Amino acid sequence: RQSNRPYAARTSLADPRRARPGRLSMRPPKIEALHGPWTSGGRRIIVALLFSVHFCWNQSSIASSLRSHHLLASASVIGTASSSKYAAAEDASVIIFYNLFVPPNQHDADHAFEIVKEQLRQVASPISPISKAEAKAVLFYNLIGGDGNEGNDIPQLCRDIHPRFHCEQLNYYNNATESVTLRNLHEYCSLLPDDTTKRVTYLHPKGSFHSHGKQTLWRRMLTNAALHPNCLSPPDERCAVCGAQYYPIFGSMFPGNMFTASCSYVKQLLPPVEGGEYERRREQSIRQFFLLRLEGVLQNTFGFHQDVFYGLGRYQWEHWVGSHPSLLPCEMHSSKMSFMDMAMQEVVEEDARPRKSKLEEQWSLGPNRLMIFDHPPGQSPKWLKRNDREGNFRQYYLTAGHLIRWIEQYQQVPALDSWVYRHFPSGAAWRQLVEKHGVDVINAVLERDRTDVYSPFASAQPEIKFEDIGPNARAVFYQITIPNDSRKHALDVLSDQLQVIAERLHGTTEATQKMASLHYSLSGDVNR
């Protein structure tokens, strides 16, 4: 699997000379050093040597898997231990991975398990109408927090809800994030062949950590959407990930992080390991954007600089399932229903939940929305029109930022027929550049002569030429902006600054005068 991963050639495992301390090299043992006839004893020595190396490598891979996603991927395909861990899913029609967090105090823990019971009944609903002999739902769960015994009753509770509802605990963690259960989901899919048609669902008891009425309705809607028949078995098989609502601004995410995804898509994602390659590359993509913003190549005029929008820290796992450029999402909620409608309203009655008959009519392939804070629905396009097309072209939260993340994380760009180039303002301009430059599109935009590449739109910017005016010359680069409503004041300020520049560069006596050049750009009310 190493050769199928991006940046595989850079890993220490690919070159024994660059191996990190404490890690085994992948170089095979040199058995040519064993001279002499091939006696039975010699064969035994060689077999024993190879078995010892193989056994040590297995142990090292498993022990190091928590530190490196490369070793995790290797460990997941060695032997039958990993595959047997998910044996219960072999004949299941519904496969769920459940991240169960138990709050530290008893009152909140009791509330959390009331949520769990409700969600388990929701999980059983897809198999209830089917013959008991035909359907089977399997739920693998990790228990986080508590004393480790809180989840002991869950398997029996599942059987009581439905005889073909199998629940199985994978691990207990004193403290962990969603990554541990997402990692199990990814590991399960990675064990399947590339042409698998299996789909997996990810759920968690939202509201067990932050308990308030708004979370209750949101959790029920997210759970119902991920378990809806049109998510479990989409009308269009091209759907890679299905959930209540998908948003490409900010990030690429299903808010609330409950979804059903095809394993063939999940296999392409970087393993969701805490401190692993996915996290490192995502952080690197954000650093790259900050540098490009300093250079004036990209911008973020939308604001929203918090970790939740950049997908950093604990929020990175909410951005994980939508992080691949091949993603084709599908949604259960109509575009007329905003995020605010789903998540930010109080529950009127305890049993308030969406009607499935209504949801069934709202399934759609591809994104239906732009910005997560689009309330009432339909405001995002109007808001984006405030920026000119050049501004939208450079906007981080539109096509440009997605391309930076895709290239940094997966060394890939979306296919030319992807929804990405149609859905975002200025997406068509980026498509032309992607068609020409592929994964080098960002580097192409950064080329020194930017008049042809930096912007795909017509520009009044002339070709910049610098004259050599002497070895000790001073150069000043000056951005001059003339506001429309204060032209006279701006020109007065400009005159004063030019006087100061002249005095500082040339001095007041002939002896201190030096050659200087001033290169300036004009913007604003410069036509009069």
What per-residue confidence (pLDDT) applies to 418?
A: 95
- Tens-place pLDDT, residues 395-414: 888 898 999 999 999 999 99
Residues 123 and 220 in one domain: yes
pTM of structure = 0.67
Give the Cα separation of 276 and 317 in Å (integer).
Answer: 12
What per-residue confidence (pLDDT) applies to 408?
A: 95
Residues 157 and 36 in one domain: no
- Cα 237–Cα 238–Cα 239 angle in degrees, nearest 5: 90
What per-residue confidence (pLDDT) applies to 526?
A: 62
What per-residue confidence (pLDDT) applies to 133?
A: 54
Give the Cα separation of 116 and 152 in Å (integer).
Answer: 13
Residues 37 and 93 in one domain: no
Residues 74 and 153 in one domain: no
**Under-50 pLDDT residues of the chain:** 1-81, 131, 346-352, 355-360, 448-455, 457-460, 462, 508-512
Give how far the C-alpha of residue 374 lies from the chain's centroid of Cα atoms, to the nearest Å.
Answer: 21
What per-residue confidence (pLDDT) applies to 71?
A: 29
Residues 142 and 25 in one domain: no
Number of domains in the chain: 3
Task: Please indicate, yes or no, if residue 439 is contained in any of the structural domains.
Answer: no
Give the Cα separation of 169 and 216 in Å (integer).
Answer: 25
Residues 342 and 276 in one domain: yes
Q: What does DSSP say about strands 259-262 and 165-173: parallel, antiparallel, or unpaired?
A: unpaired
One-letter identity of residue 143: L
Question: How many other CB atoms are there within 10 angstroms of residue 348's CB atom?
Answer: 9
What per-residue confidence (pLDDT) applies to 207?
A: 67
The residue range of the domain holding 172 is: 88-283+301-388
Residues 239 and 322 in one domain: yes
* Domain CATH for 94: 3.90.550
Task: Please indicate, yes or no, if residue 23 is contained in any of the structural domains.
Answer: yes
Residues 264 and 381 in one domain: yes
Give the Cα separation of 468 and 476 in Å (integer).
Answer: 14
Structure tokens given for 196: 């698998």
Give how far the C-alpha of residue 247 lies from the chain's centroid of Cα atoms, to the nearest Å.
Answer: 12
